[in-house]
Structure 1
């Protein structure tokens, strides 16, 4: 049986257990082979050469009840507050429902009185100080036990405050998103109005200006090239018509893309809200 005292359980920062060197890669490989094929005769020689059983490398099952040892002190597996009677300490306050604030004040007064009495004992009979120190220790343990009974209430209140903080933060973030979406809607509505105005009014003016320019160019071509006036006029007219048609198609495509992008952004704002 392994000596638990060799693990320095009482140290604040204990050294690693001495058996950590067993977990070398060759031993772990043997463990895997022993688990997969325990009847292999070639494996028995390697297992017999080990100074410990190979299955000792398997972690123990978790403890579900009873106590466990941590830093040399027993701790219950099921986390619960042990009573003073279970700890072997005298209970100085009444059992059952009590006014904890009132009892804590009483114990505090008792601790101060016993401390003053301890000072008097040290001045008159120093050999009797152990009794007074024990009284003070019992009083402080009782006060500590009453405070520990507040831990579940403290945990619930702390959780409630954390949830309220998270809720307030999410509400502020939601309000900020809604304000951003509302501003985005207003800007998109303004851009849509500008787009409609640009497509409705300037398009006709641009077309008329293009026609006037084409007619001027055609007349100049006729005067400059009298030998073939019909060809120049037709080519200029075809060029003007082609340019006008191409420009209208490009404007229509751009308008459709802008309208589609605006619609998508509106849908995104609706999804965010």
Structure 2
């Protein structure tokens, strides 16, 4: 049974521990009642009937020092690189500040030399190969330990590159948004100008007024004939100027008023984005 538990702890995707079945809604409600009213006799009776202490449902305090176990392996709380001496491995390079590149080259030459000696040993005395294999293993562990000392620097550089990439991407998105907003403002201004141009001008013939109200210079239909009639019906007199006609149409015609409000909101939105 213990071997099966050890295999579960060392598995890549271990099963949940058996005590997860304790965390039912009923037991959690009982825990809340025990906190709020511990002297209640009914609560005390139900606590006595449980096969485990109710405080076992409380999360354990965070581990602040020492080690914790994860997937059957101990991990230090303070993430630090253990020295070769702490791991029981012979250190082949000097202690203290070193030139890591220089030491890695030395260890690489030693590994190649020991490999050649291993080949020679296998050809002459195969029974003595274990010593050379162990020496090569120690050399590679030393090289791996030196490389692991670069991990904090690698993590900082990786984080810096990620932040720079995010910053550049946000700058590009901001530039694209501002360009889109500028183009939108130009289009809104052009639409506003066309809106003013399509209104009937005093003194024109009725057919000319309907044509100006219904189409743009490029032949694109701007408003329907019915909307043109609505604009004409709200003219106070033929002596009113063009701005008064536009103001009257925008005030009396719901469609024109909605268009004007929509354009104003779009202009305000562009100002906020910029």
> For this structure pair, what is the TM-score category when the shorter chain's length is used for normalisation?
0.7 to 0.9
Tell me, yes or no, if structure 1 residue 50 matches structure 2 residue 50: yes
In structure 2, C-alpha distance between the alignment counterparts of 1:115 and 1:179, rounded to whole Å: 64
| 8 Å contact kept, 1:207–1:244 | no
Give the C-alpha shift of residue 263 in structure 1. Answer: 4.3
Question: Are the structure 2 counterparts of residues 50 and 262 from structure 1 closer, same or farther at C-alpha, using a change threshold of 3 Å?
Answer: closer
| 8 Å contact kept, 1:104–1:143 | yes
In structure 2, C-alpha distance between the alignment counterparts of 1:103 and 1:57, rounded to whole Å: 53
Count of matched residue pairs: 240
Q: Which residue of 2 aligns with 1:130?
A: 130
Q: Which residue of 2 aligns with 1:203?
A: 202
- In the TM superposition, 1:60-209 aligns within 5 A as 60-199=60-199, 202-206=201-205
Q: Which residue of 2 aligns with 1:272?
A: 273
- Partner deviation per Cα, 1:22-74 (whole Å, 9 max, x = no partner): 33444334333333333333444443343332222222111011111223322
Give the C-alpha shift of residue 262 in structure 1. Answer: 4.2
Provide the TM-score with structure 1 as the length reference. 0.72
> Which protein has the larger Cα radius of gyration, Structure 1 or Structure 2?
1
Q: Which residue of 2 aligns with 1:31?
A: 31
Question: Are the structure 2 counterparts of residues 198 and 44 from structure 1 closer, same or farther at C-alpha, using a change threshold of 3 Å?
Answer: closer
Give the C-alpha shift of residue 246 in structure 1. Answer: 7.8
Question: Are the structure 2 counterparts of residues 94 and 186 from structure 1 closer, same or farther at C-alpha, using a change threshold of 3 Å?
Answer: same
Give the C-alpha shift of residue 154 in structure 1. Answer: 1.2
Give the C-alpha shift of residue 76 in structure 1. Answer: 0.3
In structure 2, C-alpha distance between the alignment counterparts of 1:208 and 1:6, rounded to whole Å: 94
| 8 Å contact kept, 1:195–1:255 | no
- Superposition CA RMSD, Å: 3.4
Tell me, yes or no, if structure 1 residue 253 matches structure 2 residue 248: yes
Between 74-83 and 107-116, the greater mean CA deviation after superposition: 107-116
Question: SS of 2:179's equivalent?
Answer: helix
Question: SS of 1:9's equivalent?
Answer: helix
| 8 Å contact kept, 2:114–2:132 | yes
Question: Are the structure 2 counterparts of residues 128 and 198 from structure 1 closer, same or farther at C-alpha, using a change threshold of 3 Å?
Answer: same
In structure 2, C-alpha distance between the alignment counterparts of 1:272 and 1:58, rounded to whole Å: 49
Q: Which residue of 1 aligns with 2:221?
A: none
What runs of 5+ residues in structure 1 fail to find an aligned partner?
Answer: 211-240
Question: SS of 1:168's equivalent?
Answer: helix
Give the C-alpha shift of residue 252 in structure 1. Answer: 3.0
Question: SS of 2:74's equivalent?
Answer: strand
Question: Are the structure 2 counterparts of residues 126 and 102 from structure 1 closer, same or farther at C-alpha, using a change threshold of 3 Å?
Answer: same
In structure 2, C-alpha distance between the alignment counterparts of 1:192 and 1:10, rounded to whole Å: 71
- In the TM superposition, 1:14-29 aligns within 5 A as 14-29=14-29
In structure 2, C-alpha distance between the alignment counterparts of 1:16 and 1:208, rounded to whole Å: 83
Question: SS of 2:68's equivalent?
Answer: strand
Between 252-261 and 131-140, the greater mean CA deviation after superposition: 252-261
